[in-house]
Amino acid sequence: MDKQDKLLDKVSMKTNVSKSDILALAKDLQSKDLNREDNIRDFVKKISKVTNKDVSETQMEKIINVIQNNKVPTDIDKMM
């Protein structure tokens, strides 16, 4: 099993989201312009639906702020 498969398995186990859903979200994300707030909102709503987690308007604003200000962590290992 390669490193990518191990990572996908780990994310899938922690989130209860299938690997195919994770890959579909990643593919969708690649086609989005994350400088546009409406694209960020749409993507967060998709993640919310797949994970069955509600996102409040306050949380949504914080997520948008983090993404637009390029404050997203880049070290995946630290997020796990």
Predicted confidence at residue 76, as pLDDT, reads 63
Closest residue by Cα to residue 18 from 64, 52, 68 = 52
* Own/partner long-range contacts of 16-24 (Cβ < 8 Å, ≥24 apart): 16/51, 17/50, 17/51, 21/50
Predicted confidence at residue 79, as pLDDT, reads 56
pTM: 0.78
Biggest CA-to-CA distance, the chain: 39
21-43 tens-digit pLDDT: 999 998 998 998 988 999 999 99
Domain locations along the chain: 3-79
Q: Which two tokens stand for residue 5?
A: 């498969």
Distance between CA 74 and CA 39 in Å, rounded? 20
